[in-house]
Structure 1
Amino acid sequence: MSNLRLPSGQQVRVVIFSSLLLLTACGEKPPSGVPGEMKVPVSVVTVQPTPTEVVVELPGRVEAIKDAQIRARVNGIVTEINFDQGSDVKAGQLLFTIDPAPYRAVRAQAAAQLQRAEADAKSARLLAERYSKLIKANAVSRQEYDNAMAAAGQAEAAIAAAEATLQAADIDLGYTKVDSPIDGRIGKSLVTEGALVSATAATQLATVQQINRVYVDLTRSTAEVSQLRQALASGKLEQSPDGNAKAEVVLEDGSSYDQPGKVLFSGITVDPTTGQVVLRAEFPNPDQILLPGMYVRVRLQQGVDEKALLVPQQALQRTADGLSSLMLVRDGKVQVVAVEVGPESKGNWIITEGLNAGDVVIVEGFQKIRPGAAVQGMPWKPKGSQDGNASAPAEPGAPGVEKGADPSGDKAPVAEPGSKG
């Protein structure tokens, strides 16, 4: 064991050499792969002005183009229901039959009164003609002649009254056959055979609705209408090329209705209770997908913004107080900016304030970054495009990224194995 012990001088030299090695190691810089020095990769888009159709999405209710309530116009007992519930009917088609017997009797009585009035009138006319000859020979008095002429006139009036009574009886008898006033689809019968219906109470029997085309009634606040007018007047928005306001229905399940529509009018009166203006759009409905009373959302085309700044919806950050912000890459670091958000356009938000052309917006990778953090921008690729990898570098000319541009201006260092971040 004594042969392994070093001389005292050599022990001192070993200690000094070891200390120098430790001091040298402490003075070296940490490797570039240390997590604190890494640039976190994030997916970004470079914002450029893009001509964009500006649309607004509003809630609405579907209304039938025609809506006829079938009601009783005479009193009586329903004897027949002459249609299949839920079927399509034609104008003039028989729907209900009300017991006609009492009205046939009334008509017969009116017809008899007319015959009596005609017979009386014939007698009065003959007497008047006879007296007109006798008066010339002074065979009758002037008073008798006048009475005969008046009686003839009264008889003619009685005929007219009897004809009117007969016509009214015919109308009431016709009302016992209840026909459809329009083409359309009829709903359920609201009465059954044997039910007593009343003209006084206007008993409702059924409803016929024409739904091959439908209306959708919308409401919009006066503030929104004013903003639209100001944008059009200032030139920020331009009218659509065809000059017509287009409309598109979004169904309750979120799918889009395949039949485009058009806005018919904008109300000129403001509802004092809600401060809103009524809009009405019309849509073709050949397959009767849109049903009266259905709740839908309607996208209305308002114009074209020639210099719209678009960002993907997932890039927008919402704060607890309801404000909106975006994370930008400036000088290789994260910067948060507050923005004003306009309408939505095909999966993107139109940013009206706080964003400039050429800004680099972070779309993905928020979990690993914070304001001021160093990041490495990589062109964002929407899901479903090519390999679906959103963080993989996009090919030149990819949407939202200038061709040949590196949004961050740097290259990300390669992390050492086992490093975090």
Structure 2
Amino acid sequence: MPKPFNPLSLRLISALAAISFVAACGDKPAAPPQQTPEVGVVTVKPTSVPVVVELPGRVSAFLVAQIISRVDGIVLKRDFVEGSEVKAGQRLYQIDPAPYIATLNSAKATLAKAQATLVSAHAEAERYKVLVAANAISKQDYDNAVATEGSDAADVASGKAAVDTAQINLGYTSIVAPITGRIGKSAVTPGAYVQASAATVLSTVQQLDPVYVDLTQSSLAGLKLRRDIQEGRLSVGGPNAAKVKLILEDGRAYDLPGKLEFSDITVDQTTGSVTVRATFPNPQRILLPGMFVRAQIEEGVNEKAIVVPQVGVTHDQKGNPTAMVVDADGKVALRQLVTSGTEGSNWIVESGLNEGDRVIVQGTSKVNPGMAVKTVEAQMPATPASAAQ
């Protein structure tokens, strides 16, 4: 038997349906507005930076003297310690002097005989001079006496030269250091026979304080430097004002500064480079001949350089440097840069940026080209260079 109709249930169902319809037709809540990202920027302005070029090079001794025997003989003594410092005039080797002493004594005896003969010839010529004036002898006899005196005088001169030569050769038996410096290993030992004609190098003395550093610079880099100076982009204080710093093989900086001496005027045809020479003090003998080093030469000052913090420069897939700037409309734009090196924690920019450009250095990860951004001046940490200035 069916249940009786309940009007209250019908009204309840209608009310619930009306509430559901009103809820479905109501307005959806609005999404919160998107905020404009905030980025830190630095304003580009010209500044004065030194132009520093880094060149490879090698150390060479300031003075080099090869020790060679100038006479033949047996080496009796070696009077130095290999690798030690020697003074100019210090004896290094002693060659057996006995044959040269004998030669000197023989030359002295020959000279004495020639001198005695000259005395007799001179006395005879003087006597003949008186006799020929009195017509007691012929003129020919007098001329012969004068000629004999002249020949004997020549023998005396020859004898003196022989004595001098023998004395010099005897002196050569004592081989001395021609310069002050450090001596290397010895090529001979006592008992060895040396010959002057063989020109055997017995040892080598090198002056190591100061030392030369011979650097190589490409002719193209030198040409660009001279052009920048002529066009006024660089200012220099003269070749003697150039500062040179040295980087050793282990990457450490050499403590003492160097002095630029000269730049060669000839380009090596095989390498297309020129030689630049500098001198460095070397009191601790840290720099040794043949050592490979890198030198940083301050060639001038760029008075209108554009520098950008390194954190504001990225690289694209091809490795080219780029930077994001904020244009006059407050939107982000991507710039392609050309850099020429670093100065402290900054890149030196040759092209791609102009004075007054605002480069993003903080917040680059949350913006893309074309986005509108809000800019604030970035607070960059002070670098040692800027703190010194």
CA distance in structure 1 between the aligned counterparts of 2:353 and 2:177, rounded to whole angstroms: 60
Q: 1:208 to 1:362 in 2, by over 3 A?
A: farther
2:257 corresponds to 1:260: yes
Answer yes or no: is 1:357 the counterpart of 2:359. Answer: no
When residues 214 and 315 of structure 1 are mapped into structure 2, their CA distance, relative to the original with a 3 A threshold, is: farther
Match of 2:164 among 157, 167, 171: 167
Deviation at 1:362, TM superposition (A): 4.0
**Which of 17, 23, 28 does residue 24 from structure 1 map onto?**
28
The one-letter code matched in structure 2 to 1:349 is W
Partners of 2:163 and 2:330 lie apart in 1 by: 96
Aligned ranges 1:16-415 → 2 under 5 Å: 16-17=21-22, 19-20=24-25, 24=28, 28-29=30-31, 32=34, 39=37, 44-240=41-237, 244-313=241-310, 315-319=312-316, 321=318, 323-330=320-327, 334-363=332-361, 371-372=369-370, 379=378, 381-382=380-381
Deviates more, 1:358-367 or 1:294-303: 358-367
- Measured in 2, the distance between the counterparts of 1:5 and 1:136 equals 185
- Secondary structure of 1:118's partner? helix
Tell me whether 243-252 or 60-69 shows the greater mean CA deviation: 243-252
CA contact (8 A) 1:343 1:350 kept: yes
> Aligned partners of 1:375, 1:98: CA distance in 2, in Å?
89
Distance 1:31 1:62, change over 3 A: same
User: In structure 2, what is the Cα distance between the partners aligned to 1:366 and 1:78?
Assistant: 78
How many angstroms apart in 2 are the aligned matches of 1:193 and 1:364?
Answer: 75
3-state SS of 1:236 partner: coil
> 1:204 offset after TM fit, Å?
1.0
Counterpart of 2:357, as a letter, is: D
1-side partners of 2:365 and 2:202: how far apart?
A: 63
Report the TM-score when normalising by structure 2: 0.84
Alpha-carbon offset, residue 247 of structure 1: 1.7
CA distance in 2, matches of 1:293, 1:335: 51
Give the alignment's TM-score, normalised by structure 1: 0.78
| Worse-matched range after superposition: 203-212 or 339-348 | 339-348
Unaligned runs of 5+ in 2: 1-8
Q: How many residues align?
A: 377
Compared CA separation, residues 30 and 314, structure 1 to 2 (3 A): closer
1:179-233 superposed Cα distances (whole Å, 9 cap, x missing partner) = 1111222222232222222211211122222222122222222222222222222
Indicate the larger mover: 76-85 or 359-368: 359-368
Secondary structure of the residue aligned to 1:309 is: strand
Deviations 1:370-411 (A, max 9, x none): 5456767672544999xxxxxxxxxxxxx79xxxxxxxxxxx
Shift in CA distance, 247/197, structure 1 to aligned 2, threshold 3 Å? same
**In the superposition, relative to structure 1, how do residues 365 and 64 fare at CA in structure 2: closer, same or farther (>3 Å)?**
farther
Instruction: State the superposition RMSD in angstroms.
Output: 3.2
Q: Which deviates more, 233-242 or 102-111? A: 233-242
- Between 261-270 and 340-349, report the one with greater CA deviation: 340-349
SS at structure 2 position matched to 1:168: helix
Which residue identity lines up with residue 9 of structure 1 in the other structure? S
Code of the residue aligned with 1:64 in structure 2: it is A
Contact 1:363 1:380 in 2 (8 A): no
User: Is the contact between residue 36 and residue 374 of structure 2 (CA under 8 Å) also seen in structure 1?
Assistant: no
| 2: CA distance, partners of 1:267 / 1:280 | 8
For residue 408 of structure 1, what is the aligned residue in structure 2? none
Q: Per the alignment, in what secondary structure is the counterpart of residue 127 of structure 2?
A: helix
SS of the equivalent of 1:156 reads helix
Residue equivalent to 2:14: 9
Letter in 2 for 1:189: S
Identity rate, percent: 47
Runs of at least 5 residues in structure 1 that lack an aligned partner in the other structure: 386-398, 401-421
SS in 2 for 1:24: coil
CA distance in 2, matches of 1:299, 1:13: 86
* Bigger Rg, which one: 2
- Deviations 1:152-181 (CA, angstroms, capped at 9, x unpaired): 111111111111112111111111111111
Distance 1:72 1:324, change over 3 A: farther
Distance 1:142 1:360 in 2: 114
Q: Which amino acid aligns with 2:197?
A: T
Query: For 2:337, what is the secondary structure of its paired residue?
Result: strand
Q: 1:5 to 1:254 in 2, by over 3 A?
A: farther
